Amino acid sequence: MGDDDSLFTVTSAHLNTGLRGIPVGTCRTSFVTPTEGVHYCGYPIAELAHLAPEDVVYLLFNKELPTPEQAEAFRADLAKRGTVPNSLAAVFHTLPNDGHPMDWLSVGIHTLGMMETTGDWKEDALNLIARMPRLMGLLFRIREGRLDNIPEDDVNGSMVQRFVRTLDLDGVDHDLMEKILATYLVLHMDHGGGNLSTFTGKAIASGHATVYASIAGAMNALSGPLHGRANQSCLEFVLRIGTSDPDEVEAFVRGELAAKRPVFGFGHAVLRAEDPRATVQFALGEELCPDDENFKIIRTLREVAPRVLSENEKISNPNANVDIASGALLHHVGFTDPTYYTTFFGWARVAGIGAQIIDERTVMRGGKGTPIYRPKYIAEGQSLRHLE
Ligand code: NMX
Ligand code: MLT
């Protein structure tokens, strides 16, 4: 790619399209193709799905998978960084219990930033990643009012173990929960440079705001129902559908479209085939919970909705996206309140956004970093005028 190569021709038709397809930079952590989906540092996501989240974080930061020795050293480094100050819990105690968990997540990340920003991009990103499992566990416990006997954090546990231990739910299969969560984290860590939350986080960091402020802002971007919160909305409507009967599911989808509401879990700005992250989760569900009622409903939705959505030519991609299946799996292992689902997406995405912020701040332009974001907008409806 030479400096003068033309990559894309912008016409008036591209204005007000959410920068769709317009190249704005390079990304070193992942790329997304319309038919094969996301690849982390070259690896198709399906090949990484069974790996430990820590190894995939290492990949996003170092662009190579770790050797066993590197993996051990990386886990030890995360353990050293893992302790969360008690004052985070004190702030959580002041938040409204009916506030959305994504707002709690954003406030939690901001709060950590107020307590312990170093100003070094990589240090701050790694510190935040290491503290996320406990932050997430405390978020659930305190928001739900389960305040007694919160287990001490064992920073030597895996990311997922630390969260599951802090949560300490009775009557659930902890091994199954850990397996589902580990796969969930790996699948959701990164999705190219231009997804809304990552783009937002990098844009904030381009003005040299802190990693914590940038990622808290990214979480706010993720909280929208057309982006990360689609996983909550999708499971909510699975619960509303309440049957895997194809005719009833079809009637439901048609009803949502007629009411001009999105069919959550379907469609994508870049993908033009089923999202491989959905395919992986469907395969996991077939293995672990084929008879789960919610799983049966999303199995029917996966068949019915693309056919119905295809009837509308303006919908570029009628196929299932990442958010179709995660809710059913999370519900199956004991997370029965969908309002929490997007916090798992956010937890995972901290790794990809953190790695991309480091690349943009310390690697791009020969190490000078990408300059402050400042795209051009063209004036509309504003002819020059003066006060009388
Ligand atoms: N249900 C209803 N309408 C849809 C859907 C859908 N699943 N997908 C696209 N459309 C509409 C879209 O709203 C747009 O309408 P209009 O021209 O009136 O603005 C039209 O079809 C063309 O949209 P596309 O170019 O196909 O998609 P776009 O890139 O604008 O939007 C999404 C992508 C993901 C926002 C869109 O497909 C959608 O709203 N899907 C449902 C919500 C969802 O599952 N989001 C999660 C995406 C993944 N993630 O986690 O971020
Ligand atoms: C994501 O994982 O961020 C979503 O699929 C949205 C996107 O890539 O635009």
Of 324, 275, 335, nearest in space to 301 by CA: 324
| Nearest atom of ligand 2 to the alpha carbon of 192 | 8
Q: Closest ligand to 323 CA?
A: 1
Tokens matching residue 355: 């790695």
Q: Residue 269 CA: which ligand 2 atom is closest?
A: 9
Q: What confidence score (pLDDT) does residue 260 get?
A: 97
The dihedral through the CA atoms of 242, 327, 103, 175 has a sign that is positive
Closest atom of ligand 1 relative to the 228 alpha carbon: 50
Cα(173) to ligand 1 centroid in Å equals: 36
Give the per-residue pLDDT at 1.
Answer: 80
Q: Which ligand is nearest to the CA of 37?
A: 2
- Report helix, strand or coil for 40: strand
What is the spatial distance between Cα 264 and Cα 327, in angstroms, rounded to a whole number?
11
Region of 27 please: left (phi>0), alpha (psi -120 to 50) or beta: beta
Q: Whose CA is nearest to atom 3 of ligand 2?
A: 195
- Residues contacting ligand 1 via CB (< 6 Å): 226-228, 230, 262-269, 314-317, 321-323
The crossing angle, in degrees rounded to 10, of helices 276-288 and 174-188 is 170
Report how far ligand 2's centroid is from the alpha carbon of 181 (Å): 19
pLDDT at 352: 99
Compute, in angstroms, the gap from residue 191 CA to the centroid of ligand 2: 6
372 CB-contact burial (10 Å; exposed 0-12 / middle 13-18 / buried 19+) = exposed
Cβ neighbours for 57, distance < 8 A, ≥ 6 positions apart: 74, 129, 189, 351, 355
pLDDT at 4: 86
Residue 265 alpha carbon, nearest atom of ligand 1: 44
Cα separation, 332 vs 183, whole angstroms? 14
pLDDT of residue 267: 98
Spatial separation of the C-alpha atoms in residues 262 and 233, rounded to whole Å? 10
Q: With a 6 A CB cut-off, is 322 part of the ligand 2 pocket?
A: yes
Q: What is the pLDDT of residue 10?
A: 95
DSSP H or E segment with residue 161: helix 159-167
Pick from 216, 223, 228: nearest CA to 107? 216
Provide the terminal-to-terminal Cα distance of the chain, rounded to the nearest Å.
Answer: 53
What is the reported pTM? Answer: 0.98
Q: Tell the residue nearest (CA) to atom 12 of ligand 1.
A: 315
Give the number of whichever ligand sits closest to the CA of residue 228.
Answer: 1
**Given this model, what pLDDT does residue 3 score?**
85
Distance separating alpha carbons of residues 86 and 91, to the nearest angstrom? 9
| CA 227 / ligand 2 centre spacing (Å) | 7
Question: What pLDDT is recorded for position 167?
Answer: 98
Cβ neighbours, 10 Å, residue 87: 12
Residue of the nearest CA to atom 2 in ligand 2? 191
The predicted structure's pLDDT at residue 2: 84
Q: How many Å apart are CA 225 and CA 240, to the nearest integer?
A: 17
The residue type found at 383 is S
pLDDT at 86: 93
Smallest CA separation from ligand 2 atom 4, residue: 195
Which residue, judged by its Cα, is nearest atom 11 of ligand 1?
Answer: 315
d(C-alpha 128, C-alpha 210), whole Å? 12
Q: What is the mean pLDDT of each run of 10 residues along the chain (388 residues)?
A: 89 97 97 98 98 99 98 98 97 98 98 97 98 98 97 98 98 97 99 98 98 98 98 97 98 98 98 98 98 98 98 97 98 98 99 99 98 97 96
